[in-house]
Amino acid sequence: MRSVALRLLLCGSITYAAWWIAGPVGIVWCAPLFGAALARPIVDGIENAYGWLRGCVYRDVQGHHYAYKGISLSVAEDVDGHPWLRLSDVRKILPNLSRDELLQQQLGPSVQPVLPDRTLRIRADALVSHLGKTTQLETAKFALWVERNVVFPSRPWRRRGELASIPDE
């Protein structure tokens, strides 16, 4: 803001001097000076307004909505900060995923209804370890995507910046 005010003051004083010396013709010759001095701040202001508007639009779904190849995934976090993926969304991507009952037997408490909507969800790190046993290419790609985009950024020690207490894995 200070830079814009300084530019306006400088252009205004140069324009006043040109008007005092050459009259109205001096003002016409100084018009490109205003364009050159204010073009960058105007472009930066439009860019900042776009970023602010985008932040306002995505504020409600930030961290809770992911998309894999155009398919929407709902992600909820528990009180410990662990991400939980809705099983119905995972099934849209992996139709051959085991039945709910079988997953609950195999993974135990890593498959359960989680707030806010109490739908059946699977913990993201448990899904990655479960899918790590696969030999299918598409399933392995999805497991890698979940690990990189959902599990890793949401690890509690990464959010708090506790680099001294990183767990050994």
Per-residue pLDDT 10s for the chain (169 aa) are 688 889 889 999 999 999 999 988 988 888 898 888 888 888 998 999 988 888 787 766 665 778 888 888 888 888 777 888 888 888 898 888 888 888 888 888 888 887 777 788 888 888 888 888 888 888 888 888 888 888 887 665 555 555 444 454 4
Global pTM reads 0.57
Give the model's pLDDT for residue 100: 81
> Residue 147 has which token pair?
């690990």
Omega before 167 within 30 of 0, i.e. cis: no
